[in-house]
């Protein structure tokens, strides 16, 4: 029991359960089939971005350009497809490759030029968003032309399991969470990710290629953001160049609330999954219980501060060996 309580995921899990109980007790429709289906559909798109960010933050870096890549990649994909330049599949790959290139450039600047990731990805945030707006003149790209295509069905097709409407994106999210959770906790690459964030000098001295590890994670973070953006664009039938604005901070909040250390060295995919649902359920729940939606940020800020205080206390106990 003591071991369970000391895990970084325990606090967020308790908060999630409290949230569910409070919202359900105030509004009995909160755990309705329709609301659960809708919450799942929205949550997993941001969740994919948060999963990539978890590994990157565990390695001691973070990426502020994820929201812009979330907007840019679908814009590029659909611009190429709608203009007839590329078939849908090739345009999809092009969207992901552009994201991979952005991730690589982020990583290269951080590692080779030793510029803090805050500054590099802030610059990239503006470049990617500006490119999306420039390409489209600020107008959304239509995506409904692809609604019958296999790729669109594979990415976001929906079906019913009993009364629940399930989107395919949920399976992509679960798949990504399982794979990344496995990588982080079970593989040598995961060990390098944690070491790169915890003590990069020690990792380097042991022969771990810290730079390459971090560049891979920057690429992963950008590609997952692009993938999530493309899924979102198909679901909403539009690739909006402003899509994903502000997501970077919400994603970072999800990751740290889940128990990943902002300073690197410790990360948890399970915690991030819990963090994703804490924030998305909060957003959904406060509206359903009648709190003005504009008050959302007050609750999020309070949760972040509360969780940080909890994690800080656990960390001190951890360091003192209790």
Partner 1 sequence: MAEELVLMDNVSRYYGRVRALDGVTFRVFKNEIVGLLGDNGAGKSTLIKVLSGAVRATGGDIYIRGEKVDMRSTADAIANGIETIYQDSALVTQLSIARNLFLGREPIKGPGFFSKMDQAKMEEVATALLKRVGISKNIPVTTPIGSLSGGERQAVAIARAMHFHSDLIILDEPTNNLGVAETQGVLRFVRNARDTGHSCIFIAHNIHHVFEVVDRIVVMRQGKVVADDIDPKKTTVRHVEEVITGMSESELRSAVAH
Q: Cβ-count burial of 313 within 10 angstroms (0-12 exposed, 13-18 middle, 19+ buried)? A: exposed
Instruction: Tell me which stretch binds partner 1 (CB under 8 A): 25-33, 39-47, 151-159, 183-191.
Output: 183-191
Tokens of 76: 């590029």
Cα separations in angstroms, 152 against 38, 158, 171, 193: 19, 10, 14, 33
- Specify the stretch interacting with partner 1 by CB under 8 A; choose among 26-34, 42-50, 189-197, 223-231: 189-197
* Contact between 259 and partner 1 per CB under 8 A: no
Nearer to partner 1 by Cβ, of 117 and 194: the residue is: 194
- Interface pick for partner 1 out of 108, 189, 296, 299 (rule CB under 8 A): 189
- Decide if residue 312 touches partner 1 (CB under 8 A): no
Question: Which residues are CB-neighbours of 209 under 8 A, at least 6 positions away?
Answer: 192
Q: Return d(Cα 68, Cα 126) in angstroms, integer.
A: 8
266 binds partner 1 (CB under 8 A): yes
Nearest approach, Cβ of residue 125 and partner 1 (Å): 29
Write out the two tokens for 306. Answer: 């509360």
Plot region of 260 (φ>0 → left; ψ -120 to 50 → alpha; else → beta): beta
H or E stretch at 239: strand 238-239
Q: Which is nearer to partner 1, 71 or 265 (CB)?
A: 265
x-or-dash pattern for partner 1, window 198-227, by CB under 8 A? xx-xxxxxxxx-------------------
Q: How many residues bind partner 1 (CB under 8 A)?
A: 27
Which residue stretch of 16-24, 194-202, 223-231, 237-245 sits at the interface with partner 1 (rule: CB under 8 A)?
194-202
- Identify which range of 141-149, 196-204, 218-226, 268-276 contacts partner 1 by CB under 8 A: 196-204
Least Å distance, CB 163 to partner 1, is: 38
Decide if residue 157 touches partner 1 (CB under 8 A): no
How many Cβ atoms sit within 10 Å of the Cβ of residue 212? 13
Q: What does the DSSP 8-state code read for residue 162?
A: T
- Please, what is the Cα angle at 48 between 216 and 303, to 5 degrees? 110
- Backbone conformation region of residue 321, classed left if phi is above 0, alpha if psi is from -120 to 50, else beta: left
Q: Is position 316 an interface residue for partner 1 (rule: CB under 8 A)?
A: no
CA separation, residue 172 to residues 47, 157, 278, 279 (Å): 10, 11, 20, 20
Least distance to partner 1, CB of residue 113, Å: 20
**Residues engaged in binding partner 1 (CB under 8 A):** 183, 186-189, 191-192, 194-195, 197-199, 201-208, 261, 265-266, 318-321
């Amino acid at each position: 029991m003591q071991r369970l309580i000391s895990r970084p995921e325990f606090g967020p899990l308790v908060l999630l359960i409290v949230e569910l109980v409070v919202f359900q007790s105030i509004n009995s429709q909160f755990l309705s089939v329709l609301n659960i289906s809708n919450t799942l559909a929205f949550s997993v798109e941001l969740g994919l971005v948060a999963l990539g960010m978890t590994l990157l933050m565990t390695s001691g870096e973070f990426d502020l350009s994820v929201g812009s890549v979330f907007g840019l990649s679908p814009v590029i994909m659909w611009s190429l497809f709608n203009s007839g330049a590329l078939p849908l599949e090739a345009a999809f790959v092009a969207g992901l490759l552009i994201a991979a290139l952005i991730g690589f450039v982020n990583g290269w600047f951080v590692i080779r030029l030793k510029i803090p990731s805050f500054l590099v990805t802030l610059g990239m945030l503006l470049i990617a968003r500006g490119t999306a707006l420039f390409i489209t003149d600020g107008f959304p790209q239509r995506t409904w032309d692809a609604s019958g295509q296999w790729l669109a069905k594979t990415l976001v097709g929906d079906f019913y399991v009993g009364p629940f409407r399930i989107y395919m994106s949920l399976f992509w999210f679960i798949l990504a969470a399982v794979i990344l959770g496995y990588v982080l906790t079970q593989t040598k690459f995961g060990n390098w990710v944690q070491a790169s964030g915890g003590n990069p000098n020690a990792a380097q001295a042991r022969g771990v290629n810290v730079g390459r590890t971090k560049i891979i994670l920057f690429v992963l973070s950008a590609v997952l953001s692009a993938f999530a953006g493309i899924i979102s664009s198909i679901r909403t039938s539009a690739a909006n160049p402003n899509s994903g604005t502000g997501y970077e901070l919400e994603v970072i909040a999800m990751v740290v609330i889940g128990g990943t250390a902002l300073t690197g060295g410790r990360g948890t995919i399970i915690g991030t999954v819990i963090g994703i649902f804490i924030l998305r359920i909060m957003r959904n729940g406060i509206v359903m219980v009648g709190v003005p939606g504009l008050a959302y940020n007050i609750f999020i800020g309070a949760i972040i501060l509360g969780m940080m205080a909890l994690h800080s206390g656990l960390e001190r106990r951890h360091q003192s060996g209790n």
